[in-house]
Amino acid sequence: MSTSAVADVTLPAIIDNQMVLQSESNTPIWGWADAGETVTVSFAGQTKKTTAAANGKWMITLDPLSVSTESRTMTIQGNNVIELDDVLVGEVWLASGQSNMEFSIGSIPLEEKAIASAQVDNRLLRMFCVAPKVSSSLPIKDVAGYWSDCRYFIKQMQAGKIKGYGSHSAVAFFFGLKLQQALKVPVAVIDSSWGGTKIESWIADEGYEMEGLALRKLASKDEAAAITEKAALETVVAEWNDAARTAVEAGEYPRPDLKAPRSRVPNAIYNGMIAPLVPFAIKGVVWYQGESNRGSQDYFEKLKALTGGWSKVFNVPDIPFYLVQMAPYNYAHAKTKNVSEQIIYDSVVSAQYKAADEIKGCDVVTIPDTVFGKVANVHPPHKKTAGDRLAALALHHDYGKSVVYSGPRFAQATADGNVVRVTFDPIDQGLDTSDGNAPNWFELAGADQQFFEATAKIEGATVLVSSPEVSTPKFIRLAWNNIAELNLRDKNGWPVFSFNAEVSR
């Protein structure tokens, strides 16, 4: 739609047929037109007018909208008239991260595909997929992406058209499905993710600034070239969007990539895949990333910058931001050497836990029970558990639903001689283990911090832990290991959170 004649009103890809608008929120609608052109937007009984600025950009803001499952038309009129069909109002979330978020519904196990296939006629669950990977030295005005509903993308999955990565994130799908089924309202998930990327790539300039983090800017000598490249990239993106829109309307699958140069600016992916979505109204974010930041000692600061920056640009104070803890994976494989057995926990996971405690709106789910012994696979194919648990956080925190939303978290460890009693909070239905065996992956250490494997047994709502090698326990940890598939859980089936703590007396 963005390649029409210059005089015509044009729209970004995120504003199109089949979109879902966020309910009970001020709703920006924007696009481009001739400078000074009057643009009128009509939807749900509201009519708003504005005038395009000197650079052609225009924007109006709809007053908060009530939830609606009715397929309604939005009319946008300037020198031309655009009618957007089948627009719903409900809940909109952004899903982002690296490859485990990018991992598509095309690669999930057959039993999960069957669950997805049952939704083929669910018109209330939709996705906007930022399909091609785009990076830019400067923020571009539009993303390469498209809207679709279950009737489209489930059929594409069934036909084998959706490959392992590139569109229709499985975690995002199951997250959206759980919300839609629980809330009985339209739900949309914006899927914008890129495998193998670091958190730094996704942080807005505003996030870097508010946390005082260094952001390498373009050298002045490179600015002119960056502006030229930006214009060329926007043309390529517009052409891809036109082709993708035509393909989707014909029931075909768009090619998932486009030919474009890659930028080395530290947050180039934000510029290409998030900034153009701003300021589309969203409720919150689900984030699955961290493998590429293993060993980073400033991951918490980067999480603060990420969440704070996105909260500001999307205008959602204390934006709900839900994290997935890394699944068990052997980072010390044949291609790597001298990798600590605790590397992901000492860096990323500990930062995620701190973020859940200290960043308002942030929380984390853990998924050690999704790999089924295959710790050599960094991409566990079972994605429904992660999506469901993220949705439980949202249902509890943001929608006031009485649901189980957390596994037991470490509360205290107290020593009596050489035995340590561990307590947890919350515990909803009591403790047990997933395999019926004694709790595993407990370790104890004395003052020298040399950890030894410990035995553990459940006693009521606590766990008693001891080791013959440690007569005076000073430190205790649970599943603080890259490959730890711990079996201790609440009887609801939610795993206990890992921890690394001191022992009190």
pLDDT tens across 427-465, in order?
989 999 999 999 999 999 999 999 999 999 999 999 999
The DSSP secondary-structure symbol of 8 reads S
**CB-CB contact of 497 with 409 (8 Å):** yes
Domain 89-97+133-142+178-397's class?
alpha beta
d(CA 61, CA 319): 20
pLDDT, average across residues 379-408: 97
d(CA 408, CA 412): 12
Domain residue ranges in the chain: 89-97+133-142+178-397, 410-502
Name the strand (E) or helix (H) holding 146: strand 145-149
* Confidence bin at 334 (pLDDT 50/70/90): low
d(CA 419, CA 422): 10
d(CA 246, CA 259): 19
DSSP lists the bridge partners of residue 362 as 321
Greater confidence (168 vs 336) lies with 168
**CB-CB contact of 333 with 341 (8 Å):** no
DSSP lists the bridge partners of residue 464 as 421, 457
**5 pLDDT higher than 50:** no
* In the chain, % of residues over pLDDT 90: 91
d(CA 14, CA 499): 41
**1 pLDDT higher than 60:** no
Q: Rounded mean pLDDT of the chain?
A: 95
Helix, strand, coil shares of the chain, percent, nearest 5, are 25, 25, 45
pLDDT, average across residues 52-73: 98
**CB-CB contact of 203 with 306 (8 Å):** yes
